[in-house]
Amino acid sequence: MYTYKKSGNTYILSLDNHVSLVEALTAFCREHDILSGSVRGLGAVSSATFRYLNPAAKAYVDRTFDEQMELTCIEGNISRKDGQVYLHIHVTASRSDYSCIGGHLLDCRINGACELFVEDLGVAVGRRLDPATGLNLYDL
């Protein structure tokens, strides 16, 4: 699912072709006991699903784009919710006409490469559901 090398508290991570980014990164965090961290990187995908929150309705609208795109920016964080790895990732994706779309990433399918830096912050950070916003916020 991935290969990696560690330098200090940072992992240099390459996801295998055709994997789900969320599945592969979740497995990596679980297998390396990462309780909190930051993620940044780039890659290419054949499909990506974004999740848009309508704050008034506290409802999500998901939309999938089935096309080859470059992930020009992957920016996210790692925490835990109820003991399980919890990823919060935003991406910007560049289309074949060089325009960009982006948002909160639900998941995407790697098609080409995905190169990440994962910084292990070495401290437990949890999340809890905030009824006011309907979001799983940091529980610090």
Query: Residue 2: helix, strand or coil by DSSP?
Result: strand
Four-point Cα dihedral 74, 75, 78, 79, nearest 10: -140
Nearer to Fe ion, 51 or 95 (CB): 51
Nearer to Fe ion, 60 or 95 (CB): 60
User: How distant, in Å, are the alpha carbons of 15, 60, 68 from that of 120?
Assistant: 17, 29, 30
Q: Which of residues 57-116 bind Fe ion (CB under 5 A)?
A: 104
Minimum CB–partner distance for residue 7 and Fe ion (Å): 28
C-alpha–C-alpha distance, residues 72 and 101, integer Å? 10
Minimum CB–partner distance for residue 130 and Fe ion (Å): 13
Nearer to Fe ion, 9 or 133 (CB): 133
Minimum CB–partner distance for residue 122 and Fe ion (Å): 24
Residues forming contacts to Fe ion in the complex (CB under 5 A) are 104
